[in-house]
Homo-oligomer: A and B are copies of this chain.
Amino acid sequence: MKEAPKRAHEPWKAFQARQRNQDIKRDAVLQTAAHMFLEQGYRRTSMSELARRLQITKPALYYYFHNKEQILVECYRAGITLIETLLDKALVSRGTGLTKVKAYIEAYAKSVVLYDFGRCVAMLDENELSPETRREVRALKRRIDASIRGYIEEGIADKSIAPCDAKLASFAMSGAINWIGTWYKPSGPLSGVEIAGHFTHLLTEGLHARTSTTSRHRVIARATPRKTSATKAGKASR
């Protein structure tokens, strides 16, 4: 009698365990595919090669995904969900438009530097998608673009950001961040978090040295002694 309730749950538990196992395998396929797409290009990655890398058979791979394009779409979806989650987390705190833009740039840069799925959104060619899924991916990306534009407009309104063309500014920010994917090497001397921090500062404060030395300059100069050497920084990439 004592064992009965436990036994009654077992078939459901087994089903749940199997389901969980399948989800884990499906995720593994996506992770490996994202890595290969970034490493050698989407076109150059074949389903056979992906199966080989995963050490599974091709039919096993096709059990999870109908074709390569479906995998690509899922990589985009995973990346966009990741970016939106990081952006939402970063923007819990209230503040001026500029504060929000800074949090946004930092979160977005981290998603590109630290995660393959984030890098997929920045780097892979949407033209590989069918017109239908391309429309979906573009709509998701536009949502991200619209957020940063909104924060820039908020900053212009609350006077924390100098008057500018919010759309062009958002493109400049996204471009600089997306481009990280082309040069970033995890083996470089700067960590992803450090790169995200530098980019946030550069894009919001600009290069211009101000005549009044504010505390922000002192902070940056103190935080980055080893990066002032051109030789060392030169190892960052390529």
Q: Which residue numbers of A lie inside 8 Å of B, CB to CB?
A: 40-41, 43-44, 98, 101, 125, 127, 138, 142, 149, 152-153, 155, 159-169, 171-180, 182-183, 190, 195, 198-199, 201-210, 217, 220-221, 224, 227-228, 230, 233-234, 236-238
Q: How far is the CA of A221 from the CA of B175 in the complex (A)?
A: 24
Of the candidates A155, A224, A227, A233, the one having the most CB atoms from chain B within 10 angstroms of its own CB is: A233
Q: How far is the CA of A202 from the CA of B179 in the complex (A)?
A: 17
> What is the CB-to-nearest-CB distance from A164 to chain B, in angstroms, rounded to a whole number?
6
- Copies per assembly: 2
Q: How far is the CA of A40 from the CA of B217 in the complex (A)?
A: 45
The 9 A-B pairs at the shortest CB distance, nearest first, are namely A175-B179, A206-B206, A167-B233, A165-B227, A175-B176, A162-B209, A176-B176, A172-B176, A205-B206
**A233→B180 contact, CB < 8 A:** no
**A167→B205 contact, CB < 8 A:** no
**A234→B167 contact, CB < 8 A:** yes
**B166→A208 contact, CB < 8 A:** no
